[in-house]
Copies of this chain bind each other. A is one copy, B any other.
Amino acid sequence: MAKLQKSIDKRNALVKATIELVNNNGFHATPMSKIAKMANVSPATIYLYFENKQDLVNQTYIDVKAEYTNYAFADFDPNMPIEEGFEMIWKRIADFKLNECEHAMFLAQCDNTPMIDEESRQEGIKHLQPLLDLWERGKKEGVIKPLSDYILYAYAINPLSFLMMTQKRGSFTLDKAHLEEAYQSAWSSIKTCL
C-alpha cells in the first residue's frame, strides 16, 4: 500500500509538472528531462508510468478534463429546475476557470492545438453529458432556445475560456460584479425570451 501510494504520488507529480511546463513553453518545447527534474524523478522513471511523451500528455489531458467536469457538476442534481441548474453549473465552471487557472489554461491549449490524440479528445468530451441533458430538457420545456448544443456551448460556456485567458494575460481582472454580468449575458443568450 505504501508502495502503491508512492507510485500514485509520483504519477501525480509528473502530471502536475507536465501541466506547468506545457503551459509556459508549449508541448514540444517541453523536454521530458525537464518534466522529470520538476517531478524529482529520473527521465527513465517517466517510462515506468507512461508509454511515451504522447501518452503522458494524453493522460494528463484526460485527468484534467475529468477534474474539470467533476468540479462543474459537484453540487448539481439532474432534477433541479432548468435555470437553477444552469446557474449552478455555470458558476462552478466559472470558479474552476478562474481559480484553477493553470488547469483551465492547459485545457485551452489542448483544445486549440493538434497536440492531443483524437481518441483522447473524444474521451474528454463524454464527461460533459449532464449539461447537454439539462439543455435537452430545457428545450423540451421551452425554457432554452431550440439551438444546436454547439451554439449553446459557444455562447453560454465558451466565453469563460476567453475571459480566463485575458485575465491570465493580465489585461484585466474579473471581479464579482463582472462575473454576475457575465452570467447574465450567458443566460440571456440561451434562454427563450418570455
Interface residues of A (CB under 8 A from B): 23-29, 108-109, 111-115, 145, 147-148, 150-151, 153-155, 158-160, 162-163, 165-166, 171-172, 178, 181-182, 185-186, 188-190, 193
Contacts and interface: CB of A to CB of B under 8 A. Distances in A.
A108 B112 contact: yes
A172 B29 CA distance: 32
Contacts of A155: 155, 159, 182, 185-186, 189
Contacts of A185: 145, 147, 151, 155, 189-190
Contacts of A112: 108-109, 111-113, 165
22 contacts: A25-B114, A26-B26, A26-B28, A26-B113, A27-B28, A109-B113, A111-B112, A111-B165, A145-B181, A148-B178, A150-B162, A150-B171, A150-B172, A151-B159, A151-B181, A153-B162, A154-B160, A155-B155, A155-B182, A158-B158, A158-B159, A159-B159
